[in-house]
C-alpha cells in the first residue's frame, strides 16, 4: 500500500443524517437494535468506499460511534459508572450512560476543545475494574478489511482520556494511569493479531493546551510502553486544533512510527520539525474545521518547507483534524454564487489526493496543471469578489472609535430601578418557550410558501399572545415573547443579515443524534432592515409589564458559524456588533426597556493556548460592548450564558458590564457562585433555579430551598430568579407547572424575608 495520504477521521452521522434517524427511531422503540446496526454498518461501508475510491491511503476505522468516541473509549476500558452496572444489555447500558435512564442521570457532557462537538466526561473511581473490551474495534476493523482496506485504527490515547476524565473525590485523574495502561497494552497485543502490519492513530489532543511536565512524562512513558508491545503495531500520535511542540519534542525519542500535526490551526508546529527525525509526519494541511476550498499554492509552499526538513517519503498528506466538524458534500447544495468556493468532507478528500500528486511530481500532468490553475483563479476570486465587499460597512466600521455605554453601572441601575419598578428577586425566563409541533409546522409551511404571510404572522402573533397571557397569569415580572419565529438563534439573525449564506444540507454533529447547520459568513455584514423590532414591540403592546428584547450576541454568532478566513474573526465579529447595535437602537426607540444579548458560545471561542487568551478576551468583550453601546442608561441590558464555571473568566464577565447576567446553575450546586462574591462582582445575577435539560417538574419547596441557598451566597439585592436556559426543547406540560412553582416560591420567600 502506498503511504502518501491520510484522513484523520470522517463524519458519521450520514450524508442524509441516516444515523440520526436510525438512533431516534431506535430510542423511540420503533426499530430493533439489528436495524440500528445495519444502518451503522452501511454508513461505515459507504464512507470507507468513498475514501478508497478517491485514493486515500490511510482510512480510519473506529472513528464511527453510535454516540461519542470518548464514551466508546470508556466502554473499551470498562470504565462504567456504578449506577449503570446493573443494566446487562450492552446497547441499553451504552445509551443509558449517554442519555440517562429512569433511575440514573446521564454522564456529564461537555465541549470537545474549542469545537461545538460534545463528548461525555468519563467518571473514574476505585470501584472500576478496568478490563479490555475491544469488540467494537475488532468488528469495525474486520468490516473494513473485507472491503480490501487495511485501516488505521483511531483510539483516544491514555493521557487525553485521563486528562478529560473526572475522578471521584477530586482525585487527580492521572492517578489512574497505572490502572489503565495494562488495558491499553493488552489492546495493542490484540490488535497486533489483526493483520501483518497494523496502524494505530493514538489521538492525544490534550497536548495542544500547553501541557505540564507530568503530562509530558506520561506521554513519553505511554509511548514507550505501548510501542514495544508488538513490533507490527505502528503507533501514530496525533494532535489537532493547535500546535503541540512540547509533545513533539518528547515523542522524538520514543519508538512511535508517526506523528500527526495540524499545520492549519497550529502553524507553530513548523518550529518542531527537527523532532520528527526519521518518523513519519502526518501533515494536516487541509482544514478539517472550515468549509473553504484549499489554497493549493499556499499549501504546496508549506509542504515544500516541510520537505526541506525531511525526506518526501516521510510526509503523509492529511486533514488537519477529523472531518467530523464539517458537512459531507457540496454536491447536494443548490447552485449559488459561493458554491464553488466551498469544500466539504468529500471535496476535501479530492484536495488531499490532488495536493499529494502535485507535491510529489516533478512536473504536473495536463489535468493537474489545469486543476492548479483553476484553484488559483477561484482563490483569487474569493478574495477579490465584489460579493464579499461592502464599502458602506467598511466605512462605518472604520469610523467607530472605541465605544462605551454611557454611565457606570451604579448610576444605570438606579435609573433602571426607577423605571422598571421591579420587586425584590425579580423573575424572568431566558427567552424561548416550548416549540410546539404546530409552530414548527407553521414556519416550515411559510418557508415552502404553503401558507401566506398573513396567515403566518397571525399564527406567530397567536403564539406570542398565549405566551404573554401565560406569563402574566402566573406572575412573572419581566416577560419574553417566546421566540416562535426562530428555529435557531444564530440562523434567524444570519438569514436577515447580508454577508451570510445558508446551506441546504450542511449538517454537523453536535452531540449524539443532534446536528447543527452552521451558517457560512462569506462577506461583509450589514443589516438591511430591523430584525426583531416588529415582534418584540407587538409583544410589548400586549402587556404593561416590561417585555425583553431578545438578540443573539456577536461573539456567539461568530463562534457558531463557518467564518470567512480572509479576515480576522475579530473584524467579522465587529461587523455583526455594529448590526446589532443598530437593532438595539431601534428596539429602544420602539419603547423596549429591557434587552437581552445572548452569549452562550462566548466561552467556546477561547483559544487553547493561554497566551492567546487576552487577545480573544479583548475583542470579544469590546465587540459585546460595542453591540450594546447605544443602550441608554435607563435601558437594562441582560446577557445569558449557559454554563456555570466562571472562575477563570470572571474578570472578563465583569468587563462585559451587562446590567444582568443569567447563567446555568442548578446542576452545579452553589459552590461556583462564590466566585461572584469573592471577586466583588457588583452587577446583577440570575443563577438558574430550574434545570431545563430535564423533564422533571420541581416542587415549590424545592424552589424555595434552591432560592434560599443562593441567597446564602449572594445578597438578595443582586439576584434575579429564572430558569437555567431557554425552554424551547421542553413541553408546555412541564414548563407550565415548573414556572408556576418557581414564581410561587419567589413570592413565598419575598413575603418571609422582606
Ligand atoms: N434566548 C435563547 C433561548 O431562550 C438562549 C438559548 C441559549 O442560551 N442557548 O432559547
Ligand atoms: Zn442557555
State in Å: Cα 326 to ligand 1 middle.
24
The atom of ligand 1 lying closest to the CA of 550 is 1
Start and end residues for every CATH 3.20.20.210 domain found in the chain: 18-384, 400-435+475-753
Which residue is closest in CA terms to ligand 1's atom 4? 726
Ligand 1 pocket, Cβ-based, cut-off 6 angstroms: 430-432, 483, 489, 550, 598, 600, 640, 642, 725-726, 728
**Ligand showing the shortest atom-to-Cα distance for residue 643:** 2
CA 84 to chain CA centroid, Å, is: 27
The atom of ligand 1 lying closest to the CA of 726 is 4
Proportion of the chain above pLDDT 70, given as a percent: 100
What HEC string does 201-235 produce? EEECHHHHHCCCHHHHHHHHHHHHHHHCCCCCEEE
**Is 443 in a helix, a strand, or coil?**
helix
The atom of ligand 1 lying closest to the CA of 642 is 8
Query: What architecture (CATH level 2) is domain 400-435+475-753?
Result: Alpha-Beta Barrel (3.20)
Give the span between the Cα atoms of 498 and 699, in whole angstroms. Answer: 46
pLDDT for 588 equals 98
Give the span between the Cα atoms of 591 and 547, in whole angstroms. Answer: 10
Angle (CA) 547 553 559, round 5°:
150
CB 435 within 8 A of CB 728: yes
Give the span between the Cα atoms of 12 and 48, in whole angstroms. Answer: 11
Those residues whose C-beta lies under 8 Å from the C-beta of residue 265, and which sit 6 or more positions away, are 240, 241, 242, 287, 289, 320, 321
pLDDT for 248 equals 98
Q: Tell me the H-state helices in 475-545.
A: 491-496, 533-541
Give the span between the Cα atoms of 754 and 751, in whole angstroms. Answer: 6
pLDDT in tens, 297-352: 999 999 999 999 999 999 999 999 999 999 999 999 999 999 999 999 999 999 99
pLDDT for 170 equals 77
Give the span between the Cα atoms of 529 and 532, in whole angstroms. Answer: 9
pLDDT in tens, 117-131: 999 999 999 999 999
Give the span between the Cα atoms of 383 and 297, in whole angstroms. Answer: 14
pLDDT in tens, 510-569: 999 999 999 999 999 999 999 999 999 999 999 999 999 999 999 999 999 999 999 999
Those residues whose C-beta lies under 8 Å from the C-beta of residue 386, and which sit 6 or more positions away, are none
**Is 605 in a helix, a strand, or coil?**
helix
Q: Which of 118, 429, 432 to mutate to test the pocket of ligand 1 (most atoms within 8 A of CB)?
A: 432
pLDDT for 694 equals 83
Which residue is closest in CA terms to ligand 1's atom 8? 600
Number of Cβ within 10 Å of residue 394's Cβ equals: 13
Rg (CA), the chain: 27
For residue 447, the number of C-alpha atoms closer than 13 Å in the C-beta half-sphere is 12
The atom of ligand 1 lying closest to the CA of 430 is 4
Give the span between the Cα atoms of 489 and 226, in whole angstroms. Answer: 46
Average pLDDT score over residue span 288-292: 98
Give the span between the Cα atoms of 457 and 443, in whole angstroms. Answer: 10
**Is 487 in a helix, a strand, or coil?**
coil
**Ligand showing the shortest atom-to-Cα distance for residue 692:** 2
In the beta sheet, which residues pair with residue 445?
none
What HEC string does 338-360 produce? CHHHECCHHHHHHHHHHHHHHHH
Q: Which of 489, 601, 661 to mutate to test the pocket of ligand 1 (most atoms within 8 A of CB)?
A: 489
pLDDT in tens, 260-279: 999 999 999 999 999 999 99
Beta-strand pair 152-156/123-124: unpaired
Give the span between the Cα atoms of 517 and 424, in whole angstroms. Answer: 41
Which residue is closest in CA terms to ligand 1's atom 3? 726
State in Å: Cα 599 to ligand 2 middle.
8
Angle (CA) 149 150 152, round 5°:
120
State in Å: Cα 432 to ligand 2 middle.
10
Give the span between the Cα atoms of 623 and 575, in whole angstroms. Answer: 9
State in Å: Cα 679 to ligand 1 middle.
27
The atom of ligand 1 lying closest to the CA of 728 is 10
Average pLDDT score over residue span 47-51: 98
CB 330 within 8 A of CB 343: yes
DSSP state of 193: T
CB 213 within 8 A of CB 180: no
pLDDT in tens, 83-98: 999 999 999 999 999 9
Angle (CA) 170 676 637, round 5°:
130
Give the span between the Cα atoms of 441 and 447, in whole angstroms. Answer: 10
CA 239 to chain CA centroid, Å, is: 18
Give the span between the Cα atoms of 107 and 597, in whole angstroms. Answer: 30
CB 209 within 8 A of CB 241: no
Give the span between the Cα atoms of 412 and 409, in whole angstroms. Answer: 5
State in Å: Cα 641 to ligand 1 middle.
9
Strand 548-552's sheet: what is its strand order? 548-552, 594-598, 636-641, 660-663, 684-687
pLDDT band, very low/low/confident/very high, at 403 (cuts 50, 70, 90):
confident
pLDDT for 313 equals 97
Give the span between the Cα atoms of 281 and 269, in whole angstroms. Answer: 11
Which residue is closest in CA terms to ligand 1's atom 1? 431
Q: Which residues have a catalytic role annotated?
A: 693
pLDDT in tens, 425-436: 999 999 999 999
CB 540 within 8 A of CB 362: no
CA 295 to chain CA centroid, Å, is: 26
Which residue is closest in CA terms to ligand 1's atom 10? 726
DSSP state of 509: E
Which residue is closest in CA terms to ligand 1's atom 9? 600
Three cell numbers, residue 423 = 420587586
Give the span between the Cα atoms of 710 and 720, in whole angstroms. Answer: 10
**Is 269 in a helix, a strand, or coil?**
helix
Give the alpha-carbon dihedral of 220, 222, 223, 228, to 10 degrees.
Answer: 130
Statement: residue 386 has pLDDT above 80: yes
DSSP state of 719: B
pLDDT for 726 equals 96
Average pLDDT score over residue span 394-405: 90
State in Å: Cα 378 to ligand 1 middle.
38
Measured CA distances, 503 to 289, 294, 370, 559 (Å)? 16, 19, 28, 17
In the beta sheet, which residues pair with residue 317?
5, 283
Statement: residue 642 has pLDDT above 70: yes
Which residue is closest in CA terms to ligand 1's atom 6? 726
Q: What average pLDDT is seen over the chain?
A: 96
Angle (CA) 648 119 434, round 5°:
90
Three cell numbers, residue 253 = 525519542
Q: Which of 640, 643, 661, 688 to mutate to test the pocket of ligand 1 (most atoms within 8 A of CB)?
A: 640
Statement: residue 49 has pLDDT above 90: yes
Grid cell 500535526 in the structure block, residue = 261
Measured CA distances, 548 to 68, 198, 532, 617, 717 (Å)? 37, 59, 11, 27, 20
Q: How many residues belong to the chain?
A: 754
The more confident residue out of 108 and 296 is: 296
pLDDT in tens, 701-754: 999 999 999 999 999 999 999 999 999 989 999 999 999 999 999 999 999 887
Q: Which fold has domain 18-384?
A: TIM Barrel (3.20.20)
Three cell numbers, residue 753 = 424575608
pLDDT for 656 equals 98
Average pLDDT score over residue span 402-409: 91
Grid cell 509533545 in the structure block, residue = 247
Those residues whose C-beta lies under 8 Å from the C-beta of residue 684, and which sit 6 or more positions away, are 413, 659, 660, 661, 718, 719, 720
Three cell numbers, residue 567 = 479576515
Give the span between the Cα atoms of 164 and 161, in whole angstroms. Answer: 6
Three cell numbers, residue 227 = 510501542
**Ligand showing the shortest atom-to-Cα distance for residue 693:** 2
pLDDT for 668 equals 67
Phi-psi region of 129 (alpha: psi -120 to 50; beta: other; left: phi over 0): beta
Strand 498-501's sheet: what is its strand order? 498-501, 520-526, 562-563
Q: Tell me the H-state helices in 551-612.
A: 554-559, 569-589
Measured CA distances, 273 to 260, 300, 310, 726 (Å)? 12, 17, 8, 48
State in Å: Cα 429 to ligand 1 middle.
10
Average pLDDT score over residue span 187-204: 98
CA 584 to chain CA centroid, Å, is: 27
Average pLDDT score over residue span 454-462: 98
Average pLDDT score over residue span 593-621: 97
Give the span between the Cα atoms of 285 and 288, in whole angstroms. Answer: 9
Amino acid at each position: 500500500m502506498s503511504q502518501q495520504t491520510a484522513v484523520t477521521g470522517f463524519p458519521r452521522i450520514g450524508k442524509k443524517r441516516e444515523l440520526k434517524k436510525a438512533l431516534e427511531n431506535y430510542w423511540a422503540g420503533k426499530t430493533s437494535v439489528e436495524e440500528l446496526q445495519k444502518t451503522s454498518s452501511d454508513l461505515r461501508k459507504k464512507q470507507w468506499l468513498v475514501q478508497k475510491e478517491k485514493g486515500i491511503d490511510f482510512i480510519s476505522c473506529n472513528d464511527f460511534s453510535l454516540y461519542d468516541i470518548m464514551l466508546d473509549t470508556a466502554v473499551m476500558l470498562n470504565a462504567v459508572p456504578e449506577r449503570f452496572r446493573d443494566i446487562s444489555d450492552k446497547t441499553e447500558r451504552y445509551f443509558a450512560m449517554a442519555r440517562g435512564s429512569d433511575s440514573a442521570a446521564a454522564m456529564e457532557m461537555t465541549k470537545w476543545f474549542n469545537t461545538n462537538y460534545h463528548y461525555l466526561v468519563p467518571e473514574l473511581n476505585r470501584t472500576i475494574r478496568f478490563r479490555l473490551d475491544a469488540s467494537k474495534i475488532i468488528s469495525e476493523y474486520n468490516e473494513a478489511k473485507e472491503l480490501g482496506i487495511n485501516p488505521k485504527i483511531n483510539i483516544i490515547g491514555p493521557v487525553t482520556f485521563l486528562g478529560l476524565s473526572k475522578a471521584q473525590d477530586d482525585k487527580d485523574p492521572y492517578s489512574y494511569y497505572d490502572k489503565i495502561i495494562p488495558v491499553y497494552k493488552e489492546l495493542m497485543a490484540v490488535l497486533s493479531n489483526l493483520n501483518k502490519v497494523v496502524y494505530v492513530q493514538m489521538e492525544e489532543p490534550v497536548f495542544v493546551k500547553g501541557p505540564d511536565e507530568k503530562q509530558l512524562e506520561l506521554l513519553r512513558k505511554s509511548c514507550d510502553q505501548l510501542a514495544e508491545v508488538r513490533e507490527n503495531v505502528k503507533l501514530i500520535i496525533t494532535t489537532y486544533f493547535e500546535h503541540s511542540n512540547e509533545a513533539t519534542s518528547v515523542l522524538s525519542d520514543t519508538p512511535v512510527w508517526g506523528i500527526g500535526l495540524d499545520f492549519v490551526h497550529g502553524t507553530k508546529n513548523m518550529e518542531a520539525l527537527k523532532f520528527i527525525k526519521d518518523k513519519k509526519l502526518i501533515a494536516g494541511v487541509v482544514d478539517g474545521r472550515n468549509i473553504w476550498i484549499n489554497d493549493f499554492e499556499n499549501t504546496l509552499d508549506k509542504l515544500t518547507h516541510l520537505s526541506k526538513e525531511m525526506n518526501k517519503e516521510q510526509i503523509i498528506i492529511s486533514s488537519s483534524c477529523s472531518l467530523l466538524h464539517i458537512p459531507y458534500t457540496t454536491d447536494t447544495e443548490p447552485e449559488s454564487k459561493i458554491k464553488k468556493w466551498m469544500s466539504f468532507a468529500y471535496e476535501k478528500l479530492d484536495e488531499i489526493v490532488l495536493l499529494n500528486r502535485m507535491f510529489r511530481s516533478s512536473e504536473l500532468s495536463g489535468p493537474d496543471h489545469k486543476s492548479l490553475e483553476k484553484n488559483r483563479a477561484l482563490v483569487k476570486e474569493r478574495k477579490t469578489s465584489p460579493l464579499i465587499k461592502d464599502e458602506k460597512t467598511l466605512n462605518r466600521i472604520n469610523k467607530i472609535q472605541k465605544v462605551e455605554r454611557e454611565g457606570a453601572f451604579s448610576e444605570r441601575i438606579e435609573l433602571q430601578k426607577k423605571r422598571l419598578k421591579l420587586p425584590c428577586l425579580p423573575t424572568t425566563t431566558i427567552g424561548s418557550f416550548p416549540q410546539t409541533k404546530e409552530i414548527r409546522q407553521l414556519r416550515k409551511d411559510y418557508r415552502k410558501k404553503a401558507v401566506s404571510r398573513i396567515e403566518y404572522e397571525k399564527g406567530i402573533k397567536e403564539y406570542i399572545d398565549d405566551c404573554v397571557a401565560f406569563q402574566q397569569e402566573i406572575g412573572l415580572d419581566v416577560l419574553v415573547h417566546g421566540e416562535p419565529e426562530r428555529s435557531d438563534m444564530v440562523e434567524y439573525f444570519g438569514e436577515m443579515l447580508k454577508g451570510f449564506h445558508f446551506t441546504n444540507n450542511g449538517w454537523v454533529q453536535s452531540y449524539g443524534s443532534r446536528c447543527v447547520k452552521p451558517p457560512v459568513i462569506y462577506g461583509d455584514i450589514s443589516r438591511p432592515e430591523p430584525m426583531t423590532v416588529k415582534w418584540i414591540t407587538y409583544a410589548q403592546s400586549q402587556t404593561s409589564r416590561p417585555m425583553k428584547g431578545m438578540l443573539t450576541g456577536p461573539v456567539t454568532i461568530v463562534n457558531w458559524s463557518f467564518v470567512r478566513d480572509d479576515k480576522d474573526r475579530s473584524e467579522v465579529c465587529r461587523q455583526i456588533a455594529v448590526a446589532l447595535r443598530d437593532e438595539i437602537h431601534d428596539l429602544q426607540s420602539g419603547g423596549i426597556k429591557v434587552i437581552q444579548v445572548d452569549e452562550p458560545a462566548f466561552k467556546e471561542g477561547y483559544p487553547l493556548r493561554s497566551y492567546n487568551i487576552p487577545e480573544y478576551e479583548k475583542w470579544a468583550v469590546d465587540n459585546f460592548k460595542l453591540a450594546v453601546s447605544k443602550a441608554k442608561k435607563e435601558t437594562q441590558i441582560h446577557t445569558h450564558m449557559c454554563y456555570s464555571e466562571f472562575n477563570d473568566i470572571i474578570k472578563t464577565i465583569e468587563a462585559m458590564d451587562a446590567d444582568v447576567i443569567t447563567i446555568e446553575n442548578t446542576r452545579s450546586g452553589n459552590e461556583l457562585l462564590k466566585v461572584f462574591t469573592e471577586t466583588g462582582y457588583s452587577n446583577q445575577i440570575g443563577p438558574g433555579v430550574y434545570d431545563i435539560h430535564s423533564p422533571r417538574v420541581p416542587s415549590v419547596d424545592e424552589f424555595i430551598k434552591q432560592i434560599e441557598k443562593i441567597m446564602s451566597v449572594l445578597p438578595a439585592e443582586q439576584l434575579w430568579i429564572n430558569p437555567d436556559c431557554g425552554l424551547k426543547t421542553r413541553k408546555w406540560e412541564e414548563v407550565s407547572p415548573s414556572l408556576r412553582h418557581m414564581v410561587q416560591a419567589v413570592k413565598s420567600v419575598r413575603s418571609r424575608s422582606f
